[in-house]
Chains A and B, each alone.
Chain A
Amino acid sequence: MTSVSDILNGDRLAITRALTEIENGSSQGKTTLNELFPHTGKAHIVGITGAPGTGKSTLVNRLAYEYRHPSRDRPPLSVAVVAVDPTSPFSGGAVLGDRIRMRDVAGDPGVFIRSMASRGSLGGLAQTTAGLVQVFDAAGFEVILVETVGAGQAEVDIADLAHTTLVLEAPGMGDDVQTIKAGILEIADILVVNKFDRPGAKNTLRFLKNMLRQVDPEERYELHHGQRSPFPDLPITEAEKNKPGWDPPILTTIATSGEGVSELVERITNHRNFLLSSKRWSLKEERRIKREMDTMLQRELLIKWRDSTSSTLYQRTLKKLVKREISPQRAVQLLLEGDE
């Protein structure tokens, strides 16, 4: 049993048990989330994404340390980390290795690190990542760092979850054509060239700068992330259109030594202030929560449909499809109509 008041008081055993319930999708977990939700909405959620090996975990470790022990005139903030690693498509198992790089904040009661396996989700996060973030938010953690699965080009779910999204690049990961492709670079609120001590780092920086110069910040208000939602979109308000945009800065870091990390935290904080002062914080929250509801609705509709459809009908339809008696389109139509 997890008690909501224990979680709100920051009891670590209560928090960890709640996280497990939520990850496992238990009814206990769902009840806990229902009760916690009114207490959320205070934390600054920062997403860290980028290709495998760009240094995400190492940078998260340094960011957490910088938040705890500010090198500039900032108050120390409590930090929760949610680090997602991939689940094996074959065995369903996973090796979660992000903690290896997160040793500097071990033993600090103001830090809580939780690893999670993606459990089959494809967008760079797990299905229940948002739920875990809500627990930390309700428990009073002021900054929540969410590290995605090593992402390629299209895993952009993090932009829906985080207030501020960092996209990490490292030298030697491709030429300038990569920087004009759509996808992950577009979701960056802050671009970070990590491993800046490595050969080729200056070229990477130059490519990215050229890319950004071609983006008009005025045009960067959010629509959806390319994925057409079956549910109605929130309208873009006039106010949103006329606000000055955020110009994503490019920063350079060497996460192993901590170089550039203080400056990075400064910029992350600036982004938060920008969101708050331009009223984008509440707009972003609105869209974020709506997407969460839409995703959940899709999932539950699917389960509801599955439970109401006979599996013999499913098998029969599948057989016809495999024999090419009917097309996939037709099969879906039959299944939705619930008859033959």
Chain B
Amino acid sequence: MEKSQNKIKVLIAKPGLDGHDRGAKVVARALRDAGMEVIYTGLRQTPEMIAEAALQEDVDVIGLSILSGAHMALAPKILTEIHNTGLDEVKIFLGGIIPEEDKPKLKKLGIHGIYGPGTSTKTIASDIRKAIS
């Protein structure tokens, strides 16, 4: 009984300026239904705000939703900020409209998984479980 108290904690954040948070909310809800504790931060988060929230909430996973095309500018900044907090084990996932040619670069930077439109939320939940087990 005591053991099962260890819940997977996920921060869902929307960096940058686009205001489309439908996807982020759908994922948040789906991860809730997969038994995870999801902290939703809302729109227009700066890299500093995301790193700070991740630190204060001590999350296992950060899910970023970027639909603005600014992922190549935002992702490195977010990764640096998170590294600066000292959260070294946190796994970062990215969802949104990401062109094929950018994916290898983002993975190389340290993004754990990338999901485009049409991804099953079950896939995301099981990838998260695998990543942190």
Listed in ascending order, the chain A residues whose CB lies under 8 Å from chain B are: 12-13, 16-17, 19-20, 23-25, 87-88, 90-97, 99-100, 103, 106-107, 112-115, 117, 119, 303
Map CB proximity to A onto B84-120 as digits: 1 under 8 Å, 0 otherwise: 0111000000000000000000000000000000000
B55: Cβ under 8 A from any A Cβ: yes
Contacts of A107 in B (CB 8 A): 48-49, 52
| A99-B40, A99-B42, A100-B41 as given contacts; A92 in contact with B48, CB under 8 Å | no
- Selected from A93, A97, A114, the residue in CB contact (under 8 A) with B56 is A114
Listed in ascending order, the chain B residues whose CB lies under 8 Å from chain A are: 1-2, 5-7, 9, 28-29, 31-42, 48-49, 52-53, 55-58, 85-87
- Selected from B6, B35, B40, B55, the residue in CB contact (under 8 A) with A93 is B35
How distant is A79 from chain B, measured CB to nearest CB, in Å? 12
- Selected from B29, B55, B57, B58, the residue in CB contact (under 8 A) with A95 is B29
Q: Closest residue to B29 on the A side, CB-wise? A: A95
Q: Closest residue to B32 on the A side, CB-wise? A: A93
How far apart sit A116 and B36, CA to CA, in the bound complex (Å)?
12
Q: Chain A interface secondary structure, helix, strand, loop or mixed?
A: mixed
How distant is B78 from chain A, measured CB to nearest CB, in Å? 15
Given A17-B58, A91-B32, A114-B56; 13 other pairs, CB 8 A cutoff = A12-B55, A12-B56, A16-B57, A91-B33, A91-B35, A93-B31, A93-B34, A94-B37, A96-B40, A114-B57, A115-B57, A119-B7, A303-B1
A16:B58 contact, CB within 8 angstroms:
yes
Q: Closest residue to B2 on the A side, CB-wise? A: A25
Q: Closest residue to A88 on the B side, CB-wise? A: B32
| A95-B40, A99-B39 as given contacts; A106 in contact with B5, CB under 8 Å | no
B56:A113 contact, CB within 8 angstroms:
yes
| A88-B33, A93-B33 as given contacts; A100 in contact with B55, CB under 8 Å | no
Contacts of B32 in A (CB 8 A): 88, 91, 93-95
How far apart sit A115 and B40, CA to CA, in the bound complex (Å)?
10
Can you sample 10 A-B contacts with CB below 8 Å?
A13-B87, A20-B58, A91-B34, A94-B32, A94-B37, A97-B40, A99-B41, A107-B52, A113-B53, A114-B56
Contacts of A106 in B (CB 8 A): 48-49, 52-53
| A92-B7, A107-B52 as given contacts; A13 in contact with B86, CB under 8 Å | yes
Q: Chain B interface secondary structure, helix, strand, loop or mixed?
A: mixed
How far apart sit A217 and B14, CA to CA, in the bound complex (Å)?
49
How distant is A170 from chain B, measured CB to nearest CB, in Å? 21
How far apart sit A59 and B56, CA to CA, in the bound complex (Å)?
20
How far apart sit A203 and B5, CA to CA, in the bound complex (Å)?
45
How distant is B87 from chain A, measured CB to nearest CB, in Å? 8
Contacts of A13 in B (CB 8 A): 55, 85-87
How far apart sit A16 and B6, CA to CA, in the bound complex (Å)?
15
Contacts of A112 in B (CB 8 A): 56
- Selected from B33, B38, B86, the residue in CB contact (under 8 A) with A96 is B38
Contacts of B56 in A (CB 8 A): 12, 16, 112-114
Contacts of B9 in A (CB 8 A): 20
B58:A96 contact, CB within 8 angstroms:
no
B28:A95 contact, CB within 8 angstroms:
yes
How far apart sit A16 and B11, CA to CA, in the bound complex (Å)?
14
How distant is B93 from chain A, measured CB to nearest CB, in Å? 17
Q: Closest residue to A12 on the B side, CB-wise? A: B55
How distant is A14 from chain B, measured CB to nearest CB, in Å? 10
Contacts of B35 in A (CB 8 A): 91-93
How distant is B17 from chain A, measured CB to nearest CB, in Å? 15
**What 10 A-B pairs have minimum CB-CB distances, sorted nearest first?**
A100-B42, A93-B32, A16-B58, A13-B86, A20-B58, A92-B35, A93-B35, A96-B39, A24-B5, A91-B35
A115:B42 contact, CB within 8 angstroms:
no
Counting chain B CB atoms within 10 Å of each CB, which of A12, A20, A99 scores highest? A99
- Selected from A25, A100, A113, the residue in CB contact (under 8 A) with B40 is A100
Q: Closest residue to B4 on the A side, CB-wise? A: A92
How far apart sit A97 and B25, CA to CA, in the bound complex (Å)?
11
